[in-house]
Amino acid sequence: MKKVIVGVSGGVDSAVALYLLKEAGYEVEGLFMRNWDSAINNDQEGMALGGEICPQEQDYNDALKVCEQLGVKLHRVDFIKEYWDYVFTYFLEELEKGRTPNPDMLCNRYIKFDLFIKEALKLGADYVATGHYAKYENGKLLRAKDLNKDQTYFLADVKAANFKNVLFPIGNLTKTEVRKIAQEQNLYVAKKKDSTGICFIGERNYQKFVQNYLKPNPGDIINVETKEVIGRHNGLMNYTIGQRRNVGIGGNSERHFVCGKNLKENKLYVTFNEEYLMSDECIIKNLNFISPLRPTFCTAKFRYRGMDYPVELVYQDEDTIQVKFLEKVKAVTPGQACVLYLGEECLGCGFIEQVRKNNQDLWYLS
């Protein structure tokens, strides 16, 4: 009997993955990862509002109850230091550069599909499984059946070799089907809401969280068309390209788009005109290819839940690709991932270094 170690998060997806593998006849054990120490960042809101248990501990308790229901042993491992070193430090460094980081992708690369796998092997695993919506077949990472929940975007930075013995039990199910299985089996988390936001921030105010680590640096907000100062921002790290809400222009009911940053002069540029958000190419670096294919034409996603855009790839060197858009794309953002697809196959990704329009760097204005 093959042994599978399942990453159990305390949510419904991993709980159903655990159930399905046990029903399929595998020897199954769960492994819960603790990646963040809530005690190190108790801001004014706190991690445990009103004296309630913090969300991370609640997740562990939920995972434990599911495992008890299914008669499965649950292990627990701490990756707090590693998460800080490989994921959170990167998050802060990218913010300081005025970019928009994607820490969930780094978490998958360094924690969930590296350190977690090594820990599972210590427990005698033949396979590792997670509750991700994705498929891995014949050496290919493929989109999930439920395209609305597909998570291949977040898996695109995982090293190809680390998928070798990974199972995705819910990749051929829709979220509705997963919920139905959980309810039919009366799993403890059947009605638990999905988690949202960046894992270490959760439901809390993003700007207040960031201010625990990066000192606010207020500056002028500039109308990119008129060059007029129309407000004050509270730190460039708090804004991303295309943002409309909470831009910080008091007394103005019209919504502005964030369309650029000037790090040297600490200025934030905004516009009413969406044309300022359109670009025709980007440069991606820190490449990770899961597939051996290197197509000239494919499609690209520039954000999770974003649409696929047709692109032409110009390979400049081993770690740099010029991505030319066959149609203009809105709000492509430095620091985010550009994930490449050929049909249903996720080829891999690179991280957006520059965004251009008419051969000019678009977002960092002088």
199 is annotated as an active-site residue: yes
Which residues have a Cβ under 8 Å from the Cβ of 93 and sit 6 or more positions away? none
- 95 membership: H or E segment, kind and range: helix 89-96
54 is annotated as an active-site residue: no
Residue with tokens 């960042």: 41
- Catalytic, out of 54, 67, 199, 349: 199
User: In angstroms, rounded to a whole number, what is the distance separating the alpha carbons of residues 124 and 26?
Assistant: 13
To the nearest 10°, report the CA torsion of 83, 88, 90, 93: -160
- Catalytic, out of 67, 107, 298, 349: 107
User: In angstroms, rounded to a whole number, what is the distance separating the alpha carbons of residues 7 and 358?
Assistant: 46
- Reduce the DSSP state of residue 288 to 3 states and report it: strand
Q: Where are any strands of DSSP class E within 169-290?
A: 219-223, 229-233, 257-262, 267-271, 278-289
Specify whether the CB–CB gap between 309 and 327 falls below 8 A: yes
Q: Active-site residue numbers?
A: 107, 199
